[in-house]
Structure 1
Amino acid sequence: MQDDPQQPRSKVRWVVAGLMWAAIAINYIDRTVLAAAAPHIQSEFGLGAMEMGIVMSAFFWSYALLQLPAGMLADRLGQKTVLGFSVFWWSAATAVTGFATGFKSIVALRVALGAGEAGAYPSNAGIASKWFPRQERATVAGIFDSGSKLGGAVAMPLIAFLLALFDWRITFAITGLLGIGWFVVWQFTFTDSPAAHKRVNAAELAHIREGQGARHADEDAAAPPWRKLLAHRNIWAMCIGFFMINYNSYFFITWLPTYLIKARGLSMMEMGFMASLPLLASIVVEIFAGWASDRVYSSGKLSLTATRKLFLVIGLVMASSIGLAAFAQSAVMAVVLLTIAKSGTTVAASQVWALPADVAPRNAVSMVAGIQNTVSNIGGVIGPIVTGAIVGATGSFIPALVFSSALIGLAILNYLFLLGKVEPIRFDHQPVERDERHVQRNADVSA
């Protein structure tokens, strides 16, 4: 770290944000490649529909179950080690999938992929708490989470192009190499503490710490047991709300193509274009929402609690448009409403991924993020199943989309009334953490 406080503020933290974004984009490309290659794999191995369903779900077995352990390890060992190892592990699992010999081996490799990817989001939440002040956390959350939408949007055409040039085995190997390259850059670029980074100057470090209150003061403090965290209402509110958001979000990467073809009568080419619009639009919307909420909070006009709740509610009101899409008279209007709905979930997500850094005790941010993401992925797992059951029982997508909209209504109530004051959870032995920026502002007003 350079020590001259008169120098212009360095911007290393935004380079870190770019690496966080790239990790999530690669994460979604690697988890999506199976969907595009599925017909080839099913044909070569002679897999039935039930066996292929097991292959597709195998990723989530380990991904959901290992969110909390991955978060705990990230808090204990450092996000550099855990995120770096996670990306290397899942990239190797992706590349090695090209050597699968049948049903059992490909299921095992998908479980391995989920185990590796479990460390991504909890680690990124922990990095946000260390490298960014409160007034920039929603922006960085919007940036890194938007990688999931870009990864999902570009994965299909990219992988389809690779499959046209090569066979499915080589395609897995090529996509796996993306993460290996990222891992090399990560090792030479990132440090767990901004103070330890050679390119972070004194001005940037002061800016980061000014907006962190007392968080940086005791970086070796022990994290509380995860069971104690579950006693706090804010943790429950975060988990319940994200569960309902993910229930809706997974519709766009599971049932949307089928809906557009069967319910709206689009051709395969039309579907491919229309299905990508919600994901592409949501990239821009999420980053803007994170930036806008940080500007509102920085202005001092709203507290952190009011800012988070305001943007959560705005996003979820937009997300409720999924129910209106069911009654749209044209396919174009349905896609417009679905694009608004998907964009709304990402407005909410920019706040959802800022909350762990806002409420977690010191050295427990990745753990809190892991708890939140464990529950949210249960919503992601059962959402497609429930949607399929409703469509199968009624023969229509309308009640399924209306039900999704109703869950969004419950999510709004959850964030308004169950989520309390957004501040670090404090146990009896911990000092109160203050936002030094607002303390100084109040002192200036008093003077």
Structure 2
Amino acid sequence: MEKRTYQPDLGVGKKTKVRWVVAAMMWAAIAINYIDRAVLSAAAPFISEDFHINEAQMGILLSGFFWSYALLQVPAGWAADKFGQKKTLGFAVIWWSAATAVTGLAAGFKSMLTFRVALGVGEAAAYPSNAGISAKWFPKKERGTVAGIFDSGSKFGGAIATPLIVVLIAWVGWKMTFVLIGLLGIIWGVIWLFFFKDNPADHKRVNKAELEYIRDGQSEAELADKTMPMKWYQLLKYRNIWAMCIGFFMINYNSYFFITWLPSYLVDERGMNLLELGIFASLPLLSAMVVEVIAGWASDKVHASGKLSLTATRKLFLIIGLLMAACIGLAAFADSAVLAIVLLCIAKSGTTVAASQVWALPADVAPKNMTSVVAGMQNTVSNMGGVVGPIITGFIVAATGSFVPALLFSAALIIIGILNYLFLLGDVKRIEAA
């Protein structure tokens, strides 16, 4: 018998829009995710002074987050598919927010490192869970849009984090800042657990018209089957999985330049003062946030028009985005700081045009009930790009005394990413287990 909770008559002819409330909460979860991981960076000078932490120790603290975050992407994705995104994402946000809050109670280097690793444990579930929610709550014709929406939260969080945290530190001190930022996520988690349902059919505010639109031909019986058709490592037999992982590595290598080395580049290479830095450093992230949502929406419109297949649509926007991202190499030769910023805004926006498709792909290609697992796999590899990118850039700058070779190397990786999506990524369709 079909399990269906009671729904009031909300109008069968006109669709309700509960799915977009869900999308807004997905966006907020990613924004909070990035704000929480940025608190330590902004508070680092004050923490170093209070606990007598040297640069090497601070480097370990800043990287400690990635130890657990990158390694737990696949387990987090498996948990989301196995136990549902409601529980997994809800408890993950509460976990990482609690880890953020208690960091304000740290007594020194060791306890702070413990809390930082705990932060990564919780945050690992964010993107895999959101990819799984996209598959359950949105039809194929809207997945580019919702991917662009929720991933744009990372740019908003990254752009607003530093000024917000600096103001809070000046107001209440760095310890209480951790507590207040942590409370924000805990409030979100409680609301999520009360509001969200893994199955749209169980949500009392979703009417019949919206439910049929979301299902897009899927039956209740199909949705009720939670069996995973294969082990996660068996996915490595498929070329599309490799293409998704390799391509996202190249994108993330470039993306992390904007949240690690960009301030140093603008000051050391372009001669900006602190006031100019505060104004210009956030522009690439803010422009990228807007462009990503537009790109996701536009890709859905192109596919819905029937002029291009899903495969052609995804590849078109991936290539357009990466061609824009290659402007990071042109920025190296810009005559002025303003032109360099314009080119960097185009480059960062390009990575997000591509990202709007990257985060739609898991729902497109994953075997049944494995969307979050596939998302976790590609995010594991992509975060390796985030780990090694800042290190390689640092070594290149140290060896050459200039950012020019580092930016050109980043552009070269983008070219590899273009070739990867053109030739290694095959037809964008669900993987069917043998």
TM-score for the superposition, normalised by structure 1? 0.94
1:408 corresponding residue in structure 2:
414
Shift of 1:116: 0.4
**CA distance in 2: counterparts of 1:315 and 1:294, whole angstroms:** 15
**CA distance in 2: counterparts of 1:128 and 1:2, whole angstroms:** 25
Shift of 1:92: 0.1
Once superposed, what is the RMSD of the aligned Cα atoms? 1.3
**CA distance in 1: counterparts of 2:292 and 2:367, whole angstroms:** 26
2:4 corresponding residue in structure 1:
none
1:366 corresponding residue in structure 2:
372
Query: Is the CA contact (8 Å cut-off) linking 1:244 and 1:379 kept in structure 2?
Result: yes
2:78 corresponding residue in structure 1:
72
Counterpart code for 1:275: A
1:336 corresponding residue in structure 2:
342
Residue 97 (structure 1) aligned with residue 90 (structure 2): no
Residue 99 and residue 354 in structure 1: after superposition, are their counterparts in 2 closer, same or farther (change >3 A)? same
Matched residues, number: 428
**CA distance in 2: counterparts of 1:299 and 1:342, whole angstroms:** 28
Three-state SS of the structure 2 residue aligned to 1:230 is helix
2:43 counterpart (32, 37, 44): 37
**CA distance in 2: counterparts of 1:347 and 1:290, whole angstroms:** 7
- Map 1:154-233 → 2, pairs under 5 A: 154-210=160-216, 216-233=222-239
- Map 1:171-320 → 2, pairs under 5 A: 171-210=177-216, 216-320=222-326
1:55 corresponding residue in structure 2:
61
1:123 counterpart (129, 143, 150): 129
Query: C-alpha offsets along residues 406-426 of structure 1, whole Å, 9 cap, x if unaligned?
Result: 000000000000000000000
Query: Is the CA contact (8 Å cut-off) linking 1:134 and 1:212 kept in structure 2?
Result: no
Query: Is the CA contact (8 Å cut-off) linking 1:21 and 1:143 kept in structure 2?
Result: yes
Residue 376 (structure 1) aligned with residue 382 (structure 2): yes
Query: Is the CA contact (8 Å cut-off) linking 1:133 and 1:212 kept in structure 2?
Result: no
Query: Is the CA contact (8 Å cut-off) linking 2:10 and 2:16 kept in structure 1?
Result: no
**CA distance in 2: counterparts of 1:223 and 1:189, whole angstroms:** 30
Query: Is the CA contact (8 Å cut-off) linking 1:62 and 1:111 kept in structure 2?
Result: yes
2:12 corresponding residue in structure 1:
6
Residue 322 (structure 1) aligned with residue 345 (structure 2): no
**CA distance in 1: counterparts of 2:8 and 2:370, whole angstroms:** 29
Shift of 1:4: 7.3
**CA distance in 1: counterparts of 2:263 and 2:229, whole angstroms:** 43
Counterpart code for 1:8: K
Three-state SS of the structure 1 residue aligned to 2:237 is coil
**CA distance in 2: counterparts of 1:208 and 1:402, whole angstroms:** 44
Query: Is the CA contact (8 Å cut-off) linking 2:82 and 2:226 kept in structure 1?
Result: no
Counterpart code for 2:327: S
**CA distance in 2: counterparts of 1:422 and 1:5, whole angstroms:** 35
Residue 424 (structure 1) aligned with residue 430 (structure 2): yes
2:152 counterpart (137, 146, 149): 146
Query: C-alpha offsets along residues 124-159 of structure 1, whole Å, 9 cap, x if unaligned?
Result: 000000000000001000000000000000001000
Counterpart code for 2:369: N
Q: Which runs of 5+ in 1 are unaligned?
A: 429-447
Query: C-alpha offsets along residues 18-42 of structure 1, whole Å, 9 cap, x if unaligned?
Result: 0000000000000001111000001
Shift of 1:221: 2.5
Query: C-alpha offsets along residues 263-296 of structure 1, whole Å, 9 cap, x if unaligned?
Result: 0000011011101000000111000000000000
Shift of 1:210: 1.4
**CA distance in 2: counterparts of 1:213 and 1:247, whole angstroms:** 40
Counterpart code for 1:326: A
Q: Percent identity?
A: 67
1:17 corresponding residue in structure 2:
23
**CA distance in 2: counterparts of 1:258 and 1:378, whole angstroms:** 22
**CA distance in 2: counterparts of 1:199 and 1:213, whole angstroms:** 20
Query: Is the CA contact (8 Å cut-off) linking 1:146 and 1:286 kept in structure 2?
Result: yes
Query: C-alpha offsets along residues 55-96 of structure 1, whole Å, 9 cap, x if unaligned?
Result: 100000000000000000000000000000100000000000
Query: Is the CA contact (8 Å cut-off) linking 2:229 and 2:433 kept in structure 1?
Result: no
Query: Is the CA contact (8 Å cut-off) linking 2:12 and 2:207 kept in structure 1?
Result: no
Query: Is the CA contact (8 Å cut-off) linking 1:133 and 1:211 kept in structure 2?
Result: no
**CA distance in 2: counterparts of 1:28 and 1:226, whole angstroms:** 27
Shift of 1:7: 3.4
Three-state SS of the structure 1 residue aligned to 2:104 is helix
Shift of 1:166: 1.3
**CA distance in 2: counterparts of 1:212 and 1:255, whole angstroms:** 46
Counterpart code for 2:419: L
Residue 173 and residue 201 in structure 1: after superposition, are their counterparts in 2 closer, same or farther (change >3 A)? same
Counterpart code for 2:62: M
Query: Is the CA contact (8 Å cut-off) linking 1:215 and 1:362 kept in structure 2?
Result: no
Counterpart code for 2:141: Q
Counterpart code for 2:58: M
Shift of 1:363: 0.5
Query: Is the CA contact (8 Å cut-off) linking 2:128 and 2:372 kept in structure 1?
Result: yes
Query: C-alpha offsets along residues 345-368 of structure 1, whole Å, 9 cap, x if unaligned?
Result: 000000000000000011000000
Shift of 1:299: 0.7
**CA distance in 2: counterparts of 1:313 and 1:35, whole angstroms:** 33
Counterpart code for 2:188: W
**CA distance in 2: counterparts of 1:168 and 1:13, whole angstroms:** 37
Q: Which runs of 5+ in 2 are unaligned?
A: 1-6
